[in-house]
Amino acid sequence: MRLVQKFGGTSVADLARIRAAARCVLRERAAGNETAVVVSAMAGSTDRLVAWTREMGPLHDVREHDVVVSAGEQITVGLMALALHELGARARSWLGWQIPIRTDGAHGRARIRAVDAAPLEGCLRNGEIPVVAGFQGLGPEGRVTTLGRGGSDTSAVALAAVLKADRCDIFTDVDGIYTTDPRLVAKARRLERITFEEMLEMASQGSRVLETRSVEMALNHGIRLQVRSSFEDRPGTLVVEEDGDEDRDVEQDIVTGIAYSRNDAKVTVVGVPDRPGVAAAIFGPLAAQSINVDLIVQNVAADDLRTDLTFTVAQADLDRALANIEALRAEIGFARLMGDPDVVKISVIGVGMRSHAGVAQTMFTALAAKGINIQVISTSEIKVSVLVAEEYTELALRALHTAYGLDDVADETAAAGG
């Protein structure tokens, strides 16, 4: 079997952990598998480098940011290769420009365009373990690019695709995907498997274990992903295609997981004239400023003349969003504008929803029973999201986890965590 093994920042946070990760690699080799390794920067390193570029100037040249920030992965590929050598294996490091991993020119959030498999195939043929710097690539003008936060996952999946790997293992500081955040809900349960679509929703709704783009790419190329811990030698969570796994429980849960995001803020525009084109007049300028709008609801107008419009933006964009809309007050003629950063978006996710009714109703009932007011509701085919006051985060998660029958009642995780 051929594997790509990707180690995140916490798995290579210091020399001892790099050595432990190297032992994970050699366990696969000992089991007869061929493996290519992708590493992130040591935990904290990227944050420090990013902070330096920001401190140098708020409007910094992203191309230089990429030069600075990509140094983190350069350090870990070398150290990982050395760790593998010390354990008796042959290995060599590969930087993005050396393979090369070609990307577009969108510095800071570049997309991978092509990866030359030949040098890595050659490396594997020679019995060497290629150790590839994640997160970085070579732009069209020969400059260093980075793929954006979590980009090392994408690097790993891209390599798995060109190397036709049988599986891509994402090693991190958690041992898999949980039904919800186990730090907040002691009864959270590790999933043995999850579908790509569910994983995508989990990621986009706030679960930070896997980066959305890497899941999309894995789905597109049919790469089996496994999320597992580099600290324990046991299987993690497999991310698989929906139909491909006949041994999946027949009586599967309707809801697979519950994600939450505290990074949203709520904007309410009160007393908007209820006429065609008014939504476009508000959201157009926000889009032009690259402010992404997520949940949107428009209340029924009380007097058929005016309505209230509520939506969410990223917390970091709240002030800019409010300033933008305020500038449109004369043009639109709304009565009042309110911003609230103290909200949390909670989403229940599961492909089982497609064939089951009443999923949303269970959510509303469970939250009402705890006295939690729902501010905004949004549904999609495999997801129901609600916006509630941030102070209810833990209470809401626990209530929903129980209501959907996800609680882990008798295993070691519950014992350890609860």
CB closer to a copy of itself out of 63 and 167:
63
Which residue is listed with tokens 């992203």? 62
Query: CB 2 → a copy of itself: shortest distance, Å?
Result: 24
- The reply on whether position 93 binds a copy of itself by CB under 8 A is yes
81 contributes a contact to a copy of itself by CB under 8 A: yes
DSSP 8-state symbol, 319: H
**Preceding omega of 100 cis (within 30 degrees of 0):** yes
86 binds a copy of itself (CB under 8 A): yes
CA dihedral angle for residue 269, residue 271, residue 272, residue 275, rounded to 10 degrees: 150
Shortest separation between residue 68's beta carbon and a copy of itself, angstroms: 4
Element (H, E) at 78: helix 71-86
DSSP 9: G
Which residues from 1-20 bind a copy of itself, rule CB under 8 A? 15, 18-19
* 82 belongs to the binding site for a copy of itself (CB under 8 A): yes
Q: Considering the rule CB under 8 A, would residue 63 count as an interface residue with a copy of itself?
A: yes
Q: Which is nearer to a copy of itself, 70 or 212 (CB)?
A: 70
Binding of a copy of itself by 110 (CB under 8 A): no
3-class secondary-structure state, position 217: helix
Of the candidates 2, 1, 4, 10, the one whose C-alpha atom is nearest the C-alpha of residue 153 is: 4
Q: Strands of 221-335 (E only): list them.
A: 225-229, 237-240, 257-261, 264-273, 293-298, 306-314
Count of residues engaged in binding a copy of itself, rule: CB under 8 A:
38
Which residue from 2, 23, 29, 92 is in contact with a copy of itself, where contact means CB under 8 A? 92
Q: Which is nearer to a copy of itself, 89 or 374 (CB)?
A: 89
Contact by Cβ (8 Å): 36, 159? yes
d(CA 200, CA 197): 5
With a CB cutoff of 8 Å and minimum separation 6, the contacts of 171 are: 5, 6, 7, 8, 11, 21, 24, 228, 229, 230
Which position among 20, 43, 68, 328 is part of the footprint of a copy of itself (CB under 8 A)? 68
Minimum distance, C-beta of residue 165 to a copy of itself, in the bound complex (Å): 24
Q: Fill in the per-residue mask, 325 to 344: x = in contact with a copy of itself (CB under 8 A), - = not in contact.
A: --------------------
Would you count residue 26 as binding a copy of itself (CB under 8 A)? no
Q: What residues from 132 to 171 belong to the interface with a copy of itself (CB under 8 A)?
A: 142-144
- Considering only residues 29-58, where is the footprint of a copy of itself by CB under 8 A? 49, 52-53, 55-57
Q: Which one of 10, 35, 70, 212 is in contact with a copy of itself (CB under 8 A)?
A: 70
For residue 410, the SS3 value is: coil
Which residue, 18 or 313, is less far from a copy of itself as judged by CB?
A: 18
Degrees (nearest 5) of the Cα angle 178, 111, 47?
Answer: 60
DSSP 162: H
Site membership for a copy of itself, residue 23 (CB under 8 A): no
Q: Which residues here bind a copy of itself, judged by CB under 8 A?
A: 15, 18-19, 49, 52-53, 55-57, 60-61, 63-68, 70-72, 74-75, 77-79, 81-83, 85-86, 92-93, 95, 97-98, 142-144
